[in-house]
Amino acid sequence: MRTALWLWLSLSLSLLLSAAACDAGLDTRDPVGDVGGDSGDDTGANALPEACGYTPMTDLDPADGGVEVDLRASAFAWDPGTGVPIAAGLAFNESVPGPVLEANLGDRVRVHFTNDTTIDMSLHWHGLRVSPEMDGIQQMLGDPVSPGESFEYEFTLVDGGFYWFHTHMNTATTIEAGLYAPIIIHVPGEVAPDCDLPVVLDDVLLDEDTQQLAPPDTDMMQLMGRLGTVLMANGRSDRSIGWTAGQTTLLRLVNASNARYWDLRLEDHEFTVVGSDGGFLAEPYTADHVVLAPGERTMLVVEATGTPGATYRLMNRRFQLHEEDGDMIEYDPMGEGENPVMSFVYDDQALAGSGWTQPTPDVPSWTGAVPNLGHHWLLEEDMMGGTVTIDGASFPDVPMVEVMTSVDTTFEIENASEMHHPFHIHGNRFQVVDVDGAPPAQAQGWKDTFDIPPRTTVTIVSELDNPGEWMYHCHILEHADEGMAGMMMVGM
């Protein structure tokens, strides 16, 4: 049975990889706003390493005490490192990922957004506690930014850390096409490391013959999630960063993949995990590898202890989405082993690095569930019917969850399926306090996206201090588009 299913799935995937037509009228330059800057020759494996760092979006009025930027979504043919531009690509400000939105805690941010594509859009500021009308969901539910139209997003930053923004309509296809970008919010007392490096991780599924995006709309892919054939760091599979022995790097990682979990290690280097979705941790810890679910972020300190002149690779190893003895067989086009993601290339110098001092964290104080239970969510899959549900229904038919604002509240998320589901909640931040009756393995900070393993119940606590109507959903994008989502009213 398993062998037959594997053969059927392999054949189905082969048939999926049909050619996509190229539009000769699209711009085919390499993105000009790549995180890390322009390194000159970046067309292949022999590319010179880029400088370690990033270039933020231009502040239109730096004297006003806030941040004001122009943002445009448009068709843009970008090269993922294969040498063949993706003709059906989309981009923010002609860059994949889009340029970094950088600001300080407390800033008022104004984003003048223009939709120059042919599809309706809304933007979601993933992890930021903005007002409901700026979250992108109200637009998605009936008032989108139509082609040729503009919208001004405006909000005040109440949390520091590392976030990202992306489209929130037809997410599985628009994010796959390139519409995402990182956000860095600095906090008081933050001392810059030798290098501050945001990296957006993504994978794209390309047709083997044309190297264009493969069709996404199949029943199997909607159920399994879209796993790509090319792994990318900041929009390319051949990204390399220049390092000097002795320097300290704050490595900010975000998983923008449709469905891929990333299990990462850096050859001959150790990570110090200093931050999660919503800011810095109270208790950093060391790790030889980190796992990121779709939508999750982490902040790592890496000391450049390698040999001058040597190259070290960031490697990703296969993460099994389904429980090992489950009834389903999943296919990963990247294979069963490890694959390189990007490289760090040491020059022949050494320096006395400045090190890095973590700012005082704003961390949750709960050590377990609180008495007030807001809701118990149930996540399920129907393999035969090809559906994914929350509380027995698919969006928009999932019953509204209603909770009080500014009250410490416990939520339970039970995953009754055989597959991992990354759960994302808009508008309010949370702390994971229990995983199947045991505390989390590592110290937890604020979260907005967290993994729910198969056959497992995860308990979280929130202070629910941002009232409004908020969406929650699985962040496997195909699952969200198929209705694994619901709404929560945080009211008075």
319 and 413 inside one domain: no
Q: Is residue 364 part of a domain?
A: no
| pTM score | 0.90
298 and 279 inside one domain: yes
91 and 211 inside one domain: no
Among the candidates 169, 189, 209, a domain finishes at: 189
130 and 234 inside one domain: no
Q: How far apart are CA 251 and CA 109, in angstroms?
A: 24
184 and 35 inside one domain: yes
88 and 185 inside one domain: yes
Q: Is residue 2 part of a domain?
A: no
Predicted confidence (pLDDT) at residue 428 exceeds the cutoff of 90: yes
Reported confidence tier of residue 24, pLDDT bands at 50, 70, 90: very low
Mean confidence (pLDDT) of the chain: 88
237 and 346 inside one domain: yes
The domain of 33 spans 19-189
181 and 230 inside one domain: no
Predicted confidence (pLDDT) at residue 482 exceeds the cutoff of 70: yes
Q: How far apart are CA 370 and CA 390, in angstroms?
A: 23
71-119 residue pLDDT tens: 999 999 999 999 999 999 999 999 999 999 999 999 999 999 999 999 9
Q: Is residue 361 part of a domain?
A: no
143 and 248 inside one domain: no
Predicted confidence (pLDDT) at residue 48 exceeds the cutoff of 90: no
Q: Is residue 3 part of a domain?
A: no
- CATH code of the domain covering residue 162: 2.60.40.420
Q: Is residue 12 part of a domain?
A: no
Q: Is residue 357 part of a domain?
A: no
pLDDT of residue 176: 96
Among the candidates 163, 189, 215, a domain finishes at: 189
The pLDDT of 16-44, averaged and rounded, is 33
Q: Is residue 234 part of a domain?
A: yes
The pLDDT of 255-280, averaged and rounded, is 96
Q: How far apart are CA 329 and CA 331, in angstroms?
A: 7
Q: Which of 232, 247, 252, 261 is nearest to 78 (CA)?
A: 232
230 and 301 inside one domain: yes
Q: Look at 329 and 11; give whichever has higher pLDDT.
A: 329
Among the candidates 189, 212, 237, a domain finishes at: 189
299 and 393 inside one domain: no
Cβ-contact 55, 101 below 8 angstroms: no
> Among 33-42, 147-156, 213-222, where is mean pLDDT lowest?
33-42
Q: Which of 191, 185, 228, 180 is nearest to 206 (CA)?
A: 228
Q: Is residue 278 part of a domain?
A: yes
72 and 152 inside one domain: yes
The pLDDT of 175-200, averaged and rounded, is 95
Reported confidence tier of residue 21, pLDDT bands at 50, 70, 90: very low
Q: Which residues of 106-134 are buried (b: 16+ CB within 10 A; e: fewer)?
A: ebebbbebbbebebbbbbbbbbbbbebeb
Domain count, the chain: 3
> Among 63-67, 183-187, 343-347, 472-476, where is mean pLDDT lowest?
63-67
